[in-house]
Amino acid sequence: MQKLRHLIEPEDFSLDELNHLIALGEEIHAAPEKYSEACKGKILATLFYEPSTRTKFSFETAMLRLGGSIIGFSDANTSSVSKGESIADTIRVMSAYADVAVMRHPKEGAPKLASLYSSIPIINGGDGGHQHPTQTLTDLLTIQTFKGSIDNQVVAFCGDLKFGRTVHSLIRTLARYNIKKFILISPEELKLPELLKRTLVDVYQVELMEVKTIEEVVEEIDILYMTRIQKERFFNEADYARLKDSYIIDKAKIQKAKQDMIIMHPLPRVNEIAYEVDTDPRAVYFEQAKLGVYIRMALIMKLLEVA
């Protein structure tokens, strides 16, 4: 048996392994019925210490479609955590009940801590503002599906680039590919952290461009990755009111965009993409959510060594 593998951050997998997962995700998407018993008899534990819709349900759907079963909690107050049980003890116990576990936690580093005490594979389902590696896998499969290649793309990230864990995971991972350029679109208050920008430039030698509005760069974007501007991150209402409408995508703002550009969003959406955009063929965010099931099926199979 191979050494126990976990997915805490995307760097835990080599580029070859990521590409293998994407290819397997494509195969499952094309013929999901072929994998309906791939994890028969296996159990997934979902340990969600904070609310989740897409991540939790897509993991549960993935395991059920693989023929496996699910245990877990969606509110830590309904578990022994409410009695003061530590993460280390919780994961030791869950290791006796399940074959693989996915954990979402408000504290950065919690899934990493769990992996140190676990005898089953741990998947990070999102930890604070730190990482969200399975959303990154979903995003990679989405790009491959709709653009035909992850390489040679101009990728624009728009919205909250400071606190968005989906952005932090994805941009670091895309930097490992042959990306043409990253365009960062955000208000001054929510710019990508300086340390992450230095890493992208110094370690990965990527080209970064920072702008304040979508309109000034819309014609050169291949992939537009939207996130919401979070009102709670501003110190005063006036600054939020001044900036929020600058980062709402509507038909007028993408009129000059490439016909094969794709618009992605990790969801949930609030008001940053107008509903009129949903019918635009470039809007792929709901398909993106659907593809999340197939890539999570591929991930579960890999970690359980049935792929």
Catalytic residues: 54-55, 83, 104, 132
Q: How many helical (H) and strand (E) elements, i.e. helices and strands, does the chain have? A: 9, 9
Alpha helices in the chain (DSSP H): 15-30, 54-65, 87-97, 110-117, 133-147, 165-174, 194-202, 237-243, 285-303
100 closest CA partner among 41, 34, 15, 141: 41
Q: How far apart are CA 73 and CA 79, in angstroms?
A: 7
Closest CA to 62 of 305, 304, 301: 301
- Enumerate residues 6+ apart whose C-beta is below 8 A from 3: none
Lookup: tokens for 26: 């494509």
Q: Which residues does residue 100 pair with via DSSP β-bridges, in sequence order?
A: 44
Residue 263's nearest CA partner among 141, 152, 157 is: 157
Cβ atoms 58, 293 nearer than 8 A = yes
Q: What is the DSSP letter of 193?
A: P
Distance CA 214, CA 246 (A): 8
212-217 long-range Cβ contacts below 8 angstroms, 24+ apart: 212/185, 212/187, 212/246, 213/185, 213/246, 214/156, 214/158, 214/185, 214/246, 214/247, 214/249, 214/253, 215/253, 217/156, 217/183, 217/185
| Residue 204: exposure state from Cβ atoms within 10 A (0-12, 13-18, ≥19) | middle
> Could you give the 3-state DSSP secondary structure of residue 101?
strand
